[in-house]
Amino acid sequence: MLKASDIEQVAKKLEISSSTAKKVGKLLDSAAKSLHSGTINSARSALRSSLDMIDGLKSSLHEDIDLVEKGISSYIRSEEYFQEVESECLKVGLQLERNRDQWYCFPSTVELEPDSESVLINGTKSSELMPARIAARLLLERDAANSRNLKPFAELLLKAFTAIGGRETTTVVPLLEIFNILTLWPEQRRRYSRASFALDLYLLDRSSQVREFGKRLVFASSTGARDRTKVFSMRDETGFEKVYYGIYYVNEEAEGAGHES
């Protein structure tokens, strides 16, 4: 079974082969100069040395090609590959979970495509298969999510709620209606997926930015949450699934006055 260490070993061998190829180039240059000056013996010696090196290169390269061509697909499908990626994730403080051919590492999903020797990270295809590279990409995605400015989204959510006709406390607006408004244009729907909307909802839910223009956002559950097409779900850093169905707003000034009385 191919391993990440085997691929690294091939890479090191190729570095040596590259150095040898440069030596071959220098020998050929020397042979050409010798022929131009008429020193046939020197040219003959340089050419023979070049051929010996080239034979060695061909043999080494055939071994390398056989290794990476035969083993990659089965390697990606293996338990060992998952464990290697998981180990690299743990080194940078990430938790990786697996569900068959799909992996999850907040806030990213990773889908394996062994036949094309690639992976999909949040829908973006990558041919960089080394476990350390995948872990580095997942870390970037996690850090980008955690540093996201949520204020524009909080404002947009309130505007969409108001546009639909939602009123404080009395009206729960399904988030599916809001998502449909935010993605009216086909191009916008292509760019802003349900998963992206769910991530924004979760990030806002866990933040302190649920207050906007004197109103406090409240996430409401419903029996409608049983229909997966009407909800937005997001798994948090521990793998726990958060499900979002609807929202409403509470006027904080009115709420405060009620408490005083």
Output the tens digit of pLDDT for each of the chain's 261 residues. Answer: 677 887 888 888 889 989 999 999 999 999 999 999 989 999 999 999 999 999 999 888 888 877 777 677 888 888 899 999 999 999 999 999 987 768 999 999 999 998 888 999 988 999 999 999 999 999 999 999 999 999 999 999 999 998 887 776 668 899 999 999 888 887 777 788 898 999 999 999 998 777 777 788 999 876 556 678 889 998 888 888 899 999 999 887 655 544 443
Domain annotation covers residue 65 = yes
**pLDDT for res 11:** 86
CA dist., res. 32 & res. 36, Å (int): 6
Q: How far apart (Å, rounded) are the C-alpha atoms in residues 162 and 141?
A: 32
Domain count, the chain: 3
**Contacts of residue 204, Cβ cutoff 8 Å, sequence gap at least 6:** 150, 153, 154, 157, 210, 217
Element spanning 127, H or E: none
pTM of the predicted model as reported, rounded to 2 decimal places: 0.73
pLDDT at 41: 92
Q: Do residues 199 and 252 share a domain?
A: yes
Residues 199 and 235 both lie in one domain: yes
DSSP one-letter code for 239: S
Q: Establish if 54 belongs to a structural domain.
A: yes
Beta-carbon count within 10 A of 38 CB: 8
Task: Write b or e for each residue in 90-120: b if 16 or more Cβ atoms lie within 10 A of its Cβ, otherwise e.
Answer: eeeebebebeeeebbbbbbbbebebeeeebe
Please state, in angstroms and rounded to a whole number, the distance separating the CA atoms of residues 232 and 187.
20
Does one domain contain both 156 and 248? yes
In a domain, 15, yes or no: yes
Q: Which domain range does residue 67 map to?
A: 4-77
pLDDT value for 261: 37
User: Is 248 within the bounds of a domain?
Assistant: yes
159 shares a domain with 179: yes
Structural domain contains residue 60: yes
> Are residue 237 and residue 159 in the same domain, yes or no?
yes
Residue 87 domain-assigned?
Answer: no
Structure tokens at 163: 């546009």
| Shared domain check, 99 and 54 | no
